[in-house]
């Protein structure tokens, strides 16, 4: 295992153990439920807007370590971003975990989210890693619920 992979694994384990923004937001502007029946992950994502920006974002629910860690890091990554910026990050994340974006050669704003680049090797885990992002995307675009297929 490479040093980088080990570092990434530690990041994911740490966020699973101590997830950030793991709470409900009372009176959210936007919220959606995301289901990943293949693994049994179910997350509710809450968003409070500040003008055009994501003022506060949080999640609750249950899921595997990867889905929970990904939701935790997603909330950190999109807080303070505009909806367009969040959409762009979702797109980059999705392309990374499906192998369409090469994080080594293509310019991107993924930063610490690169910790999830390893799921590419585990197709069943791609949905776990991207669930919170699909759910955020649904919430930001006015959908109540999504199910990964
Ligand atoms: Zn999962």
Question: Would strands 145-147 and 30-36 be described as parallel, antiparallel, or unpaired?
Answer: parallel
Q: What are the pLDDT digits (tens) for 76-129?
A: 999 999 999 999 999 999 999 999 999 999 999 999 999 999 898 888 899 999
Q: How close is the Cα of 131 to the center of ligand 1, in Å? A: 8
Q: What are the pLDDT digits (tens) for 5-54?
A: 887 889 999 999 999 999 999 999 999 999 999 999 999 999 999 999 99
Query: For residue 2, what pLDDT band results from cuts at 50, 70 and 90?
Result: low
Contacts of 127 by beta carbon, 8 Å cutoff, 6+ apart: 36, 38, 39, 41, 148
Q: How close is the Cα of 44 to the center of ligand 1, in Å? A: 14
* Per-residue model confidence (pLDDT) at position 5: 80
Q: What are the pLDDT digits (tens) for 127-146?
A: 999 999 999 999 999 999 99
Q: What are the pLDDT digits (tens) for 63-79?
A: 999 999 999 999 999 99
Q: How close is the Cα of 128 to the center of ligand 1, in Å? A: 4
Q: What are the pLDDT digits (tens) for 6-19?
A: 878 899 999 999 99
CB 98 within 8 A of CB 126: yes
Q: How close is the Cα of 42 to the center of ligand 1, in Å? A: 9
DSSP conformation letters of the chain: --HHHHHHHHHHHHHHHS-TTBS--SS-SEEEEEEETTTTEEEEEEEEEETTEEEEEEEEEE--HHHHHHHHHHHHHHTT-BHHHHHHHHHHHHHHHTT-S-TTTS----GGGGGGGGGGG-HHHHHHHHHHHHHHHHHHTT-SEEE--
């Amino acid at each position: 295992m490479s040093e980088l992979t080990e570092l990434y694994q530690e990041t994911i384990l740490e966020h699973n153990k101590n997830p950030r923004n793991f709470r409900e937001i009372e009176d959210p502007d936007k919220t959606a439920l995301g289901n990943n029946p293949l693994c049994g992950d179910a997350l509710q994502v809450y968003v409070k807007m500040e003008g055009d920006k994501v003022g506060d974002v949080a999640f609750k629910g249950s899921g595997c370590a990867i889905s929970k860690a990904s939701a935790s890091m997603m909330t950190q990554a999109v807080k303070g971003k505009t909806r367009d910026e969040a959409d762009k990050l979702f797109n980059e994340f999705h392309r990374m975990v499906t192998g369409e974006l090469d994080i080594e050669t293509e310019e991107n704003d993924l930063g610490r989210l690169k910790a999830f680049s390893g799921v590419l090797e585990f197709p069943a885990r791609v949905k776990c890693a991207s669930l919170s992002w699909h759910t955020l995307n649904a919430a930001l675009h006015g959908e109540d619920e999504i199910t990964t297929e």
